[in-house]
Amino acid sequence: PNLFQGGEGPPRSEHDAIRVHGESAVSAEEASLLGHVAEALSQDGRASPMDTLASAYGGLVLLSDRMEDQNTWVMRRTMPAGDSERSWELHHLGDVALGEGLSLVVGHTGINAPTTNMVAGVAKRRSTDEGIDDAMNAIGTLVHRGLEALLAGDAEAVGRAMTENHLLLRRIGVSHPKLEALVSAALPTSLGAKLTGAGGGGCMIALTRNAKATSEAIELAGGRTWITPLGTPGARLEACPEGGLLRQD
């Protein structure tokens, strides 16, 4: 998506074009913020800043309801939610150090599940099933356990946390039979696997030391796969169109 000056709307002239040069360039913080605004507008306000934070900064990021570490804290993000307000504390912890030979294999189910519908479904189930809140609280505890494992470089513990997280996400009703098939296919050759994103379809991920075997297993189960290293950088300018980009004078 384009990043417009001030986030107020589309550019009115070449002087309002994308800022990628010099002191006026869009920062990672601004890219994260504007990306989250755009995502929230497209999803009726039901959008976490996780994806846009990770895309802007790269490496290991953390969302929490409290400031976990002042040295890694980036900003507080707030958003209206009906008569109340949602708030997140955003952190950037830098690169992931889990040793050599580790990869994430992404498996796509081929099923499109709009995030807005999935989030609304969880909200509806919470009103009648008290176990949903218990599972969500357990996920919060598990995130901190997984974070400790990441910071300690314990890949096996990270994998176990991923698989446990998947079971909790299944409990709150955001899995899908195709996701279950891909996760089950990945587990024998990986350290852990889970659905990712809003669920209901979409993608799953597996942490593995044998990316080829895990990828093949997921594909045999009907998924489409991509293999990615850990700790990739955030948003950056890779190339310019012929003639360059418009910039402020």
Are 221 and 247 in a shared domain? Answer: no
Are 105 and 226 in a shared domain? Answer: yes
Give residue 4's pLDDT. Answer: 29
What does pLDDT average to over the chain?
A: 85
Known catalytic membership, residue 44: no
Least confident window among 42-46, 111-115, 179-183, 233-237: 42-46
Give the model confidence (pLDDT) of 90-102 as tens digits: 999 988 778 889 9
Q: What angle do CA 114, 120, 121 make, to 5 degrees?
A: 90
Structure tokens at 66: 């409290």
pLDDT reading at 9 higher than 50: no
Are 73 and 164 in a shared domain? Answer: no
Give the model confidence (pLDDT) of 132-174 as tens digits: 999 999 999 999 999 999 989 999 999 999 999 999 999 999 9
Give residue 95's pLDDT. Answer: 83
Are 53 and 78 in a shared domain? Answer: yes
Q: How far apart are CA 117 and CA 223, in angstroms?
A: 23
Are 115 and 34 in a shared domain? Answer: no
For residue 35, give its domain range: 1-95+232-249
Q: Which residues in 47-72 are b (16+ Cβ under 10 Å) and which e?
A: bbbebbbbebbbebbbbbeeebeeee
Are 76 and 114 in a shared domain? Answer: no
Domain count, the chain: 2
> What percentage of the chain reaches a pLDDT higher than 70?
85
Give residue 27's pLDDT. Answer: 84
| Cβ pair 60, 53 in contact under 8 A | no
Are 60 and 105 in a shared domain? Answer: no
pLDDT reading at 245 higher than 70: no
Nearest partner of 26 among 200, 237, 232, 242, judged by Cα: 237
Give the model confidence (pLDDT) of 38-75 as tens digits: 888 887 777 889 999 999 999 899 999 899 989 999 99
Query: What separation, in Å, do the N-terminal and C-terminal C-alpha atoms of the chain show?
Result: 22
Give residue 24's pLDDT. Answer: 60
| Active-site entry in 16, 51, 129, 154 | 51
Are 2 and 86 in a shared domain? Answer: yes
Q: How far apart are CA 116 and CA 39, in angstroms?
A: 11
